[in-house]
């Protein structure tokens, strides 16, 4: 069933975004909540799953690496293959695949079957995020595009506030399999919301490989993608293995509360950042990367101090609650003429960072310990900050006459 929402671009419908349009944004946000909950569910359950499947913690980290690899490959591939297909139907198809993926994970008898389920999730994930970040401005009036993006990304923070901790909580009294089954139920609700609330989103033109080449020829866009890769790599090379670090000082229920706090403070960080990001994008990115550096440093320096580690987790939540929004707006501004290509590249870069970061992090954890892994994360975050400074330098000589398209406009 499809609601009778007008399919013309939102910017042509009037000055005010309608209630139906906001409901469509909320439906996509609910879907984002389901996707992120499913993607990072293993983070809080890694020791239990590793034990039950008979593998090491680092090898179990492949449950995070595999979706990242698949999403990185399929984000551009799916969007090119979709051609001019109505994006609404692509949303529905990808969410159905996510449902199947969670069922497979819930019944997986061994790591191989588990990774098949996680690969299915990754394939759906890459396509979903490409469409979600590109579709946000189309669902509302032009003046509300940033708010729509922030609302959809609120689904990410809600997943860390409720979804991932809830999965850990369910596993504490039932099993990790039940946590995956509950996530499958959540995905079903997201699918129903899409059916009834997301309008038709016809594509005016099919995406071409040449569009990606055009973006890669732009120095500002290339360097921006490098910055995103470094910062996300810093986060996921360490956060994926946060449970093994915390389990020495906290019980499973206490870790659940820490993850809840991480996500809750991230939710408020996302909301507050959305109010200032339009005028202070570079400053927002710099502040959040510095907070990320501070958080990871405190986790190392204050190890075995429950108060110190709790403070570090909360700082981390503030940083990562805002960074996806900051980077999403950054890429939207630098690829305004090719939004779906920019979104696909953005998703691919993030998923490569997740895959490589979690894989390298797992190898380091198994061979050298968590401390060495966090040292790597600190180095990557510092390089991300240096890249941001280079982007600022790159923009300084630019003048209004030299910027002949919106794609390489200043981030602020």
- Here the tokens at position 72 are 């990185």
**Residue 159, in any domain of the structure:** yes
Residue 204: what pLDDT? Answer: 60
Contact 133, 149 (CB under 8 A): yes
In sequence order, which residues have a C-beta less than 8 Å from that of residue 23 and are 6 or more positions away? Answer: 197
In sequence order, which residues have a C-beta less than 8 Å from that of residue 210 and are 6 or more positions away? Answer: none
In sequence order, which residues have a C-beta less than 8 Å from that of residue 146 and are 6 or more positions away? Answer: 274, 277, 278, 329
pLDDT in tens, 359-394: 888 888 888 888 888 899 999 999 999 999 888 877
Collapsing DSSP to helix, strand or coil, 84 comes out as coil
DSSP string, 107-138: H-SSHHHHHHHHHHHHHHHHHHHHHHHHHHHH
Q: Sign of torsion, CA 122 97 43 158? A: positive
Rounded distance between C-alpha atoms, residue 87 and residue 355, angstroms: 26
Rounded distance between C-alpha atoms, residue 187 and residue 97, angstroms: 10
**Residue 383, in any domain of the structure:** yes
Lookup result for tokens 């009294």: 173
Rounded distance between C-alpha atoms, residue 343 and residue 128, angstroms: 10
**Residue 33, in any domain of the structure:** yes
pLDDT in tens, 209-256: 777 788 888 888 888 889 999 999 999 888 878 877 888 888 877 887
Collapsing DSSP to helix, strand or coil, 146 comes out as helix
Residue 383: what pLDDT? Answer: 94
Q: Which residues of the chain have pLDDT under 70?
A: 1-15, 82-83, 160-161, 204-207, 395-412
Q: How far is CA 241 from the centre of its chain?
A: 17
**Residue 392, in any domain of the structure:** yes
Contact 72, 351 (CB under 8 A): yes
CATH number at residue 125: 1.20.1250.20
Residue 404: what pLDDT? Answer: 45
**Residue 4, in any domain of the structure:** no
Lookup result for tokens 């909301």: 271
Domain that holds residue 152: 18-396
Q: How many structural domains comprise the chain?
A: 1
In sequence order, which residues have a C-beta less than 8 Å from that of residue 187 and are 6 or more positions away? Answer: 34, 38, 95, 98, 99, 102
Residue 192: what pLDDT? Answer: 93
pLDDT in tens, 77-107: 777 776 677 888 888 999 999 999 999 999 9
Collapsing DSSP to helix, strand or coil, 88 comes out as helix
**Residue 405, in any domain of the structure:** no
**Residue 411, in any domain of the structure:** no
**Residue 251, in any domain of the structure:** yes
List C-alpha distances in Å: 360 to 76, 180, 247.
24, 25, 21
Residue 127: what pLDDT? Answer: 82
């Amino acid at each position: 069933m499809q609601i009778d929402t007008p399919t013309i671009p939102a910017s042509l419908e009037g000055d005010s975004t309608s209630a139906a349009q906001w409901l469509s944004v909320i439906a996509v946000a609910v879907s984002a909540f389901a996707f992120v909950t499913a993607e990072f569910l293993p983070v809080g359950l890694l020791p239990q799953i590793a034990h039950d499947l008979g593998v090491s913690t680092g090898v179990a980290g492949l449950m995070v690496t595999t979706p990242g690899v698949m999403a990185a490959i399929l984000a551009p591939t799916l969007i090119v293959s979709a051609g001019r297909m109505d994006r609404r139907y692509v949303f529905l198809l990808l969410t159905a695949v996510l449902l199947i993926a969670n069922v497979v994970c819930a019944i997986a008898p061994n790591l191989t079957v588990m990774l098949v389920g996680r690969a299915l999730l990754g394939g759906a994930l890459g396509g979903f995020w490409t469409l979600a970040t590109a579709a946000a401005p189309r669902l509302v009036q032009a003046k509300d595009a940033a708010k729509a993006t922030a609302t959809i990304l609120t689904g990410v923070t809600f997943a860390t506030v409720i979804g991932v901790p809830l999965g850990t909580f369910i596993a504490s009294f039932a099993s990790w399999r039940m946590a995956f089954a509950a996530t499958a139920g959540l995905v079903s609700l997201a699918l129903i919301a899409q059916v009834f609330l997301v309008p038709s989103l016809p594509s005016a033109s099919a995406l071409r490989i040449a569009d990606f080449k055009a973006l890669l020829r732009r120095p500002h866009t290339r360097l921006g993608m490098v910055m995103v890769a470094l910062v996300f790599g810093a986060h996921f090379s360490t956060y994926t293995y946060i449970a093994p670090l915390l389990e020495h000082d906290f019980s499973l229920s206490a870790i659940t509360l820490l993850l809840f706090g991480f996500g809750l403070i991230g939710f408020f960080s996302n909301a507050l950042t959305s109010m200032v990001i339009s005028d202070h994008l570079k400053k927002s990115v710099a502040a959040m990367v510095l907070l990320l550096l501070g958080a990871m440093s405190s986790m190392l320096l204050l190890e075995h101090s429950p108060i110190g580690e709790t403070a570090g987790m909360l700082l981390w939540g503030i940083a990562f609650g805002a960074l996806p929004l900051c980077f999403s707006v950054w890429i939207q501004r630098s690829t305004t003429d090719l939004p779906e290509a920019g979104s696909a590249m953005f998703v691919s870069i993030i998923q490569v960072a997740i895959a490589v970061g979690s894989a390298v992090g797992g190898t380091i954890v198994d061979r050298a310990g968590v401390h060495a892994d966090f040292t790597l994360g600190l180095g990557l975050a510092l390089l991300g900050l240096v890249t941001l400074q280079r982007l600022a330098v790159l923009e300084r000589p630019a003048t209004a006459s030299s910027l002949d398209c919106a794609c390489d406009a200043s981030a602020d």
